[in-house]
């Protein structure tokens, strides 16, 4: 492989990683806003987002979510996350 071709491959790889990182960051911000969405699938994604952010603010949001959640499966999942979060804080 020539040096020029290797350079193009490296630039393409770095550009792909940068674009993927930006896309992932945008999706995570969007998931955070969907905790109280009408869609159960979006609420599951939002719970996954919050699981990786153990803060006092997250615990407050999870308490509100557990009180609000109409589906028992998601309510139990949120309650388990809240219990785990409170034990770690």
Rounded (10°) CA dihedral 26, 32, 36, 42? 60
Q: Give per-residue pLDDT as tens, 13-49.
A: 998 998 888 887 777 677 767 899 999 988 988 998 8
Q: What is the DSSP letter of 34?
A: T
CA angle 84, 87, 89 (to 5 degrees): 110
Q: Read off the pLDDT band of 1 (50, 70, 90).
A: low
Q: Read off the pLDDT band of 71 (50, 70, 90).
A: very high
Residue spans per domain, the chain: 3-88
CB contact at 8 A, 56 and 74: no
């Amino acid at each position: 492989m020539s040096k020029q071709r290797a350079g193009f491959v490296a630039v393409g790889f770095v550009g792909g990683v940068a674009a993927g990182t930006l896309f992932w960051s945008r999706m995570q911000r969007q998931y955070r806003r969907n905790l109280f969405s009408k869609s159960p699938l979006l609420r599951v994604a939002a719970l996954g987002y919050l699981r990786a952010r153990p803060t006092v603010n997250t615990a407050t949001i999870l308490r509100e979510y557990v009180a609000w959640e109409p589906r028992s499966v998601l309510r139990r999942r949120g309650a388990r996350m809240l219990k785990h979060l409170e034990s770690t804080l």
